[in-house]
Structure 1
Amino acid sequence: MVINEKDLYSQGLRINVQNVDVYYEKYDHPYQKNKPTFLMIHGFLSSTFSFRKLLPFLISEYSAISLDLPGFGKTEKSTKFIYSYQNYGKLVVDFIKQLKLKNVIIVGHSMGGQIALQVAKQAPELVKKCILIGASSYLKRAKRVAVYSSYIPFVTWFMKRWFEKKDVKENLLTVVHNKNLVDDELIQGYSKPFEDKHFLDCMIRLLRHREGDLSSEELQKINTPCLLIWGKEDKVVPVNIGQKLVHDLQHAELKIYEKTGHLVCEEKPERLYKDILSFI
């Protein structure tokens, strides 16, 4: 039985990890205590909202947890947290340990996919498998001039003006193949990050702290089995990135969805769920 999205019930909880107040949603399946637990990690400018169409399928048979990363969603907008991918990975590792999660399968979308790989690299014993959806990979660190510029007085004001000019609806239309999916609910869900007054402070810290993605040499040392899911029409992380990633990872397979953009969980949640079931 698949739970209807509108009837989806979660227990919104908070936990202190690395001195950050982390928000997460926990979906406990009462009869599947020995099955894997899915841990969902969202992408850049997103939150737990991005998994709302996939979760009803997953929690019909499994337990699942979705968390908001520092700087995003309902998690604290900390100005002390180090916003590097390595530290994001460490935070997720600490999160798993504090909740004493076992048999974990990480589902990471976009930037969340790169963080999932960081977790697999740092603590392979905690991760059974990874599902990487349009995973950010092979990005270099921001150019030095951009990092230095972030220290200029009033840079937050300039960034705020830049974000204000960005139309969420127009941006969403570029990341999905099926334009009809861009409705008021989707626009509102992806507009949330911009509403917190400290959001831009976190984005500046992310610009300063974010190192480059894991190198080919580092990826080749990861032994965790990975399923890579890509939309053929993905304009954010093109499919050739997935083709390179499946070559670098030791135990990986790649599935490419036709007529699908970057937001695979929005466009093909049921197919995604079936492929996840086959993989695990």
Structure 2
Amino acid sequence: MHTIETNGQTIELNHIRVYYETYNWEKKRPVLVLLHGFLSSSFSYRRLIPLLANDFSVITVDLPPFGNSEKSTTFRYTYRNLAQLVIDLLQHLHIPTCTLVGHSMGGQICLYIARMQPQLVREMILLASSGYLGRVKRSLTLSTYLPYFHAYVKHYFYKQGVEANLRQAIYDYSLIDNEMCKGYEQPFYHPQMFKALTRFIRYREGDLQAHELQRIETRTLLLWGENDRIVPVDIGKRLHEDLTNSALVTFPHTGHLLPEERPHDVYREITDFIR
């Protein structure tokens, strides 16, 4: 096993500061770009990164406003804009082609990148990717313009609690410990987080629909937990039908947080797929 060399940096792209980390960075090695899900961060890949870094140069990106990236109150948080930030980062790093790995919402960002810049994406690995969601209802969009809507969002988040959300996402509750709870909760202590999250709710467009997915030719591996209650495996089966160059692998007794629940299995499937 190689020593894992980590380098965390912040870069300004399109007037917003984006935090990313590189692991065992060598340009001659294949590049994997890891994108996390909604209300998450690169922390969700903590168990998978040490495995992947043995074989690849790994980049993790905290998609704004999550993780250590800026919680801007002027940026338009659309999937297209977030995808463009990743594209701009890869261009800044002079990476001509890479493999995208996306969990949940991060999978949808991967799909947007593949639609926008197909030549940049060698292949995709989508871990319980979100799919086929429309925009939020117009009434909720209008509500985000209320002066204290962000306070309601904050109240709702803390009322639910991180552990309750993790229990919804994970099949085996014994995996939930203090380290996990603190890691997922920490970014939400930032004073601007819920104002930024309000803008995310306001501007997020819908997921790519079937006719758009069917135009994506990128070779794609879909990995899914059979007990996923956040994004059910039926979504994976539907994506498999619409993504014409895709394969689907499912895991029993597994929920939504595949990088946390099945890191060794996910690592094996990724390396076999790429090789």
Distance 2:104 2:28 in 1: 29
Is contact 1:53–1:265 with CA below 8 Å preserved after alignment? yes
Aligned match of 1:243 = 237
* Separation in structure 1 between the aligned mates of residue 143 and residue 164 of structure 2, nearest angstrom: 27
- Match among 21, 26, 35 for residue 29 of structure 2: 35
Counterpart amino acid of residue 26 in structure 1: T
Match of 1:123 in 2: 117
User: What's 1:14 paired with?
Assistant: 10
Q: Does the 8 Å CA contact 1:2/1:56 hold for their aligned counterparts? A: no
Shift of 1:29: 4.4
The whole-number CA distance in structure 2 between the counterparts of 1:29 and 1:93 is 18
The residue type paired with residue 188 of structure 1 is K
Indicate conservation of the 8 Å contact 1:70/1:77, yes or no: yes
**Paired residues for 1:158-177 under 5 Å:** 158-177=152-171
What's 1:275 paired with?
A: 269
| Counterpart selection for 2:226 from 188, 208, 232 | 232
Q: Deviations over 1:222-261 (max 9, x none)?
A: 1111100000000000000000001001210000011100
Question: Which of residues 85, 95, 101 in structure 2 aligns to 1:107?
Answer: 101
Q: How does 1:11-90 map to 2 (within 5 A)?
A: 11-30=7-26, 33-90=27-84
Q: By how many angstroms is 1:21 displaced?
A: 1.0
Counterpart-to-counterpart distance in 2, 1:177 and 1:154:
35
Q: How many residues align?
A: 274
Aligned match for 1:145, one of 139, 142, 145? 139
TM-score of the aligned structures, taking structure 2 as reference length: 0.97
Unaligned runs of 5+ in 1: none
Q: Are the counterparts in 1 of residues 150 and 197 from structure 2 also a CA contact under 8 Å?
A: no
Residue deviations 1:109-138, cap 9 Å, x none? 000000000000000111101110000100
The offset of 1:193, in angstroms, is: 2.6
Q: TM-score normalized by structure 1? A: 0.95
Confirm whether residue 186 of structure 1 aligns to residue 171 of structure 2.
Answer: no
What is aligned with 1:202? 196
Q: CA RMSD in A?
A: 1.2
- Aligned equivalents of 2:20 and 2:146: distance in 1? 34
Residue deviations 1:95-154, cap 9 Å, x none? 111111133001000000000000000001111011100001000100000001111222
Q: Do the aligned partners of 1:102 and 1:126 also contact (CA within 8 Å) in 2? A: yes
| Amino acid in the other structure paired with 2:202 | R
State the partner residue of 1:91: 85
Cα distance in 2 for partners of 1:206, 1:57 equals 32
Code of the aligned partner of 1:268: R
Deviation by residue 1:148-170 (Cα, 9 ceiling, x = unmatched): 11112221222222122111112
Q: Secondary structure at the match of 2:197?
A: helix
Cα distance in 1 for partners of 2:16, 2:255 equals: 33
1:93 Cα offset (Å): 1.0
